[in-house]
Homo-oligomer: A and B are copies of this chain.
């Protein structure tokens, strides 16, 4: 039971394949209503569906767009993908998804495979900070690319980007915490080497350093919480008990900190203030509510996809657009003194 081809339809409807094709594509030189009807009926009867491969081969369009993300297990990512998927589908295209699992080699492999599938565009949340040879060749082939969430260094020309305005978000966070009367800051982050967003956030923390009595950065590499707790104890033991707040670089970090504090029995906000960049669904319910800077995740995906679609239709020639979206401060219990 092979699927019917355009030729089968043509034969059954007593017309040429060309006419069927015209019908399918709603082409200019309109068909006689009678012919069209006949074709329509046959298509219906046979359950004919055009073969995307053959069409692609001819038209050089696949109807496929790819999204390669750094880590699907970070809730931020599926939220962004939601915006991407919706937009891509509205445009009549289909979305291929690749999860690099924070491994640049895996990322390369995925990109290569997806390009081989002849995707018409690539949305990328890179898990490395520089342009890999594979990505370079993608760019060279003029395949539209839009970066999500993270920038890339060493591209010949800056790539299209949609991301959080990290500098502004951290400014907001610092303002809020200082405004609440905190005088010491402990910024907790995952290693910052490979993700530009983390770098930008950390840079902003450093920039705001002088505003604090003390501001330190804690980078966590494993799940163990002991050294973080030790760090906290150390900062809290200042002679003049300056109030201390923890700021988390993202929701994954926040989860780690929440776990650490819970295990150590540290009270929030009594003993310590807590705030995070990124506002996961649970933030409002832990410790009576954790103050957060929410990201417009779905919107970010939407805009990324739109930017890609624009490039796909207008060509890669358009000058690159760097969109920076603002975060939204949600003040909650965890930073109220």
Contacts and interface: CB of A to CB of B under 8 A. Distances in A.
Contact of A57 (B57, B86, B137, B258): B57
A262 B287 CA distance: 11
Interface string A247-287: 00000000100110010000000000000000011101110
Contact of A72 (B82, B92, B262, B280): B82
B94 A95 contact: no
Size bracket, chain A contacts: 35 or more
B282 A262 contact: no
A198 to B, nearest CB: 20
Contact of A116 (B50, B78, B259): B50
Interface stretch (A107-115, A124-132, A153-161, A168-176): A107-115
A54 B85 CA distance: 27
A90 to B, nearest CB: 11
A53 B262 contact: no
Given A94-B96, A98-B85, A259-B285, A118 B53 contact: yes
A222 B101 CA distance: 36
Contacts of A118: 51-53
Given A54-B57, A259-B285, A85 B99 contact: yes
A318 interface: no
A146 to B, nearest CB: 18
A115 to B, nearest CB: 7
A89 interface: yes
A94 B116 CA distance: 10
A108 B22 CA distance: 25
A62 B53 contact: yes
A224 interface: no
Contacts of A281: 75, 255, 282
Contact of A95 (B79, B82, B96): B96
A255 B282 CA distance: 8
A77 interface: yes
Contacts of A162: none
A257 to B, nearest CB: 10
Nearest to A262: B285
A321 interface: no
Q: Find the residue from A1, A51, A96 having the highest chain B CB count within 10 A.
A: A96
Across the A-B interface, give the 5 residue pairs with the lowest CB-CB distance, nearest first: A282-B282, A78-B78, A53-B56, A97-B97, A53-B57
10 contacts: A1-B142, A51-B118, A52-B117, A53-B53, A53-B57, A72-B85, A75-B78, A85-B99, A86-B99, A282-B282
Given A78-B78, A82-B99, A258-B285, 14 more contacts: A3-B141, A49-B116, A51-B118, A53-B54, A53-B56, A72-B82, A75-B78, A75-B281, A85-B98, A86-B99, A94-B98, A94-B113, A255-B285, A282-B285
Interface of A: 1, 3, 47, 49-54, 56-57, 62-64, 72-73, 75, 77-79, 81-82, 85-86, 89, 92, 94-99, 101, 110, 113-118, 137, 141-142, 255, 258-259, 262, 280-282, 284-286
